[in-house]
Amino acid sequence: MSNIEFISLSKLNLDKSNPRLPSKFRSGDIDKKAIVNWMLEDASIIELMLAIGNAGFFIGESLLVIEESDGRFTVVEGNRRLTSTILLKEPDLAEIHRKKVDQVIKETTERPEEIPCIVFPSREKINKYLGYRHVTGVKSWGILQKARYLSELKNDYQDLEFSKMCRELAKSIGSRSDHVRKLLVAYEIYEQIEDEAFYKIKDLDETSIFFNYYADSLSRENIRDFIGVDIKSENPLDNVNGNHLEELTRWFFEKNDQNKARLKGDSKHLGMLDKVLGNTEAKDYFQSGTGSILEAYQLVSVSSESFDHEIEMALSGLKRAQNIIHNVERHTNPDTIKTKLKEIFTLAKNMKAIVESSEEDSWDD
């Protein structure tokens, strides 16, 4: 690693391989203006502009860069700081937050031209530092960015079996190998979903998907089995079930008429789903789309309390109906109403008989 060098702002490139950037940016021919405006969506860019515009570029926050064949430098670490400095110099690049950018320009005077940088011989030489800093360290990325970075970093270990690769990656960033394994597998799952154009689910893309839903799902045995992931294998996705992966994704993100998805990816709902997928009857019921995850879960997790809850709900509904029946001037379908009331009566008699058969004392009519 070299000492700090001061490099002209005009010779510094934003990193198109920055794990923060959406895949559509990182894989395409994107220009500086597009990257700057995407970075500007982060509110902290305005704060950085103010800080740098008032005090200059602090040498202790030197950029980590690699030199390219054309004599320019790509900033591997410090793209937010570089974006802020570029906007101080070229505020017209901003297509969003124009008023805020203009206000910063009015309030500040510093416009750094020579930026403190540490030049590395290759991107790989920076990887271990970035791994600790952003995956386990004090400037942690979001979980999708962590997984994307690890996926890129694993290219340095392609000759190793997957288990050993995870251990080496974990050591290099100061993490646990099982956590690294889960992130890498979840990212491969994410790439399959992305490759399928997010199954054309309305409004679902890289910015709206919750990557942690998939990472957390991998901790649940029955969910793993459902999508065909063998988490302990050297090739965890060899038998992945594409149809079931699509189905899981639709449960998570496809909205109904009430703008609600069938399933949340929190611990409670994933726990229920894991139980449901481990039971054929409950799984078939939920897959049919006729009931909620709670209703499916109750098929495999029936208790006295859950039964009592259902009875209370049914009784409350009947009481509400009784309270308003006298306000109905004319029943549109009286025969249908009578049929349903008869069904309610029959169901109540049957349940009463079942309860009586399990108790010593019966209750009166």
**Does a structural domain hold residue 291?**
no
Same domain membership, residue 222 and residue 187: yes
Sequence-separated (6 or more) residues with CB below 8 Å from residue 126: 64, 66, 76, 77, 120
61: containing domain: 4-122
CATH of the domain at 93: 3.90.1530
Q: How many CA atoms lie within 13 A of 311 on its CB side?
A: 12
**Does a structural domain hold residue 177?**
yes
Same domain membership, residue 27 and residue 116: yes
How far apart are the C-alpha atoms of 180 and 173, rounded to whole Å?
10
Q: What are phi and psi of 364, to 5 degrees?
A: -75, 155
List pLDDT tens digits, range 134-180: 555 545 567 888 888 888 888 888 899 999 999 988 877 767 899 99
- Predicted pLDDT at 138: 43
**Does a structural domain hold residue 117?**
yes
- Predicted pLDDT at 103: 94
**Does a structural domain hold residue 264?**
no
**Does a structural domain hold residue 281?**
no
CB 117 within 8 A of CB 5: yes
**Does a structural domain hold residue 239?**
yes
Same domain membership, residue 206 and residue 138: yes
Same domain membership, residue 310 and residue 225: no
Helix (H, G, I), strand (E, B) or coil at 116: strand
How far apart are the C-alpha atoms of 191 and 105, rounded to whole Å?
40
How far apart are the C-alpha atoms of 41 and 207, rounded to whole Å?
12
Q: Which segments of the chain have a pLDDT < 50?
A: 1, 138, 362-363, 365
Same domain membership, residue 131 and residue 118: no
- Predicted pLDDT at 247: 97
**Does a structural domain hold residue 314?**
yes
Same domain membership, residue 156 and residue 76: no
**Does a structural domain hold residue 72?**
yes
Same domain membership, residue 329 and residue 229: no
Query: Looking at 106, 122, 138, which one is the last position of a domain?
Result: 122
Same domain membership, residue 74 and residue 14: yes
Query: Looking at 60, 91, 122, which one is the last position of a domain?
Result: 122
Query: Looking at 122, 141, 158, which one is the last position of a domain?
Result: 122
- Predicted pLDDT at 360: 55
